[in-house]
Amino acid sequence: EASRGVGVVLDVAEDADGLGRLVKDADVVVSLLPAPMHPAVAERCLEHGTDLVTASYVSPELHALQERCEQAGISILNEVGLDPGMDHMSAKKIIDDVQGRGGEITSFSSVCGGLPAPEAANNPLMYKFSWSPMGVLRASKNDAVYMQEGDVINVDGADLLSSARPFVGNWPSMHLEVLPNRDSLVYADKYGIQSAKSIFRGTLRYGGFSNVMHVFKNMGLLEEGAEAGQGTWADALQRLGHKRGYTDLKSFASACAGGDPALAANAVGCLKWLGITSETEVSDPADIVKSFCSVLEDRLCFEEGERDMVLMHHDIRASFGDGRHETHKSSLQLFGTDKMSAMCKTVGCTAAVGTDLLLSQGRGGFERKGILLPTSRDIYEPCLAALEAEGLRFEEEMVVDDEGEDLKFGA
């Protein structure tokens, strides 16, 4: 039980005055709300001179508040969760060390995934939700761009799931796959690695997940704004098939699987396991994605006693003027416990140590105002030390060789 906390029910979107009163009385605000709600919280923080911490990516709306934050004398520390958050800190620690010794980064890869532990990956998708189900579905349709050996590779959101590749960088027994994650190119400037010819950020899943989800996407189950229609899931699937010119589920699935019979069979088997070929009523006739998300949320949940798992891995390669090449690998693997999930610990502890850092201002330590990220040494060093004290420690290794090899997508 939270002996030092008080629960309050508040509609942040509708009760600006109530939000303002809470912010006014706070030493610092930690917002773990959906990212689109952070600007409204930030406005109240500006009004009352209160620092703010979020675990979300900096939005254009928050980025535009830099000058106002400086004028108000407040800090808004963003991207202090797992990804983004711990990824920034652990990667920049290596990058800054290499550059401080006169090296330049030639290749950068960073991947992360929130997954069920292997023994809990016991369903056809080998996946369970440890964060927002709708967020997972929407992320599977994001456009992505990365750099491979100097070539810029663009991936349309419609093709993201089909772009998954086997991940061979670590944990080979898990048979993982990796998907490109949003815009990797911005990290050239964000991390100061403009010298890199390969820059890749990715999302980890167990192998096979993306292909089956791509079939579901082709079927129309991820199409936002589309109706499911009245009736059962069997009726909804029939309507989706008819819309695309198919009269039976087998031929519909085969077409959506690109003619791959094994993949089509896996997809149909998964649909049956989910209950989407049954006479179960759709939950929201006006929205196929919400209805599908509701099914996934119900079926892909952790049972009592099951563990989640967080994986993060960096592969950073560098060259030096004397011809030396270094390959740095940094990995984190964390399993949930009966007291706390791995996702909760990695996001929550990172936000907490960031909060503690802001609270230390004025006591001879950290002192900076404006829109902040955990990519500078004065932020990531104390945060990584505090995280290590909580058992969140990266395993690092470095290999020195005479010939550098560029990094391939999936490595």
Instruction: Please list the active-site residues.
Output: 83
**Identity at 39, one-letter amino acid code:** P
In angstroms, the CA 223 to CA 72 distance is: 43
Tally: H helices and E strands in the chain? 14, 13
130 close to 347: Cβ distance less than 8 angstroms: no
Among 2, 23, 29, residue whose Cα is nearest residue 351 = 29
Spatial neighbors of 382 by CB under 8 A, at least 6 apart, are: 353, 357, 365, 366
CA-to-CA separations, 320 to 92, 109, 327, in angstroms, rounded: 18, 19, 12
In angstroms, the CA 31 to CA 376 distance is: 22
Spatial neighbors of 39 by CB under 8 A, at least 6 apart, are: 59, 61, 62, 65
In angstroms, the CA 348 to CA 346 distance is: 6
CB-neighbour burial class of residue 71 (10 A; exposed 0-12, middle 13-18, buried 19+): exposed
Among 236, 252, 215, 213, residue whose Cα is nearest residue 286 = 236
**Identity at 230, one-letter amino acid code:** Q
φ/ψ of residue 155, rounded to 5 = -120, 115
* Residue whose entry in the numeric block shows the structure tokens 């991947």: 111
> Each residue of 198-214: b (16+ CB within 10 Å) or e?
bbbbbbbbbbbbbbbbb
First CA to last CA across the chain, in angstroms? 43
In angstroms, the CA 374 to CA 5 distance is: 27
Among 129, 114, 120, residue whose Cα is nearest residue 312 = 114
Per-residue three-class SS string for 192-204: CCCCCCEEEEEEE
281 close to 211: Cβ distance less than 8 angstroms: no
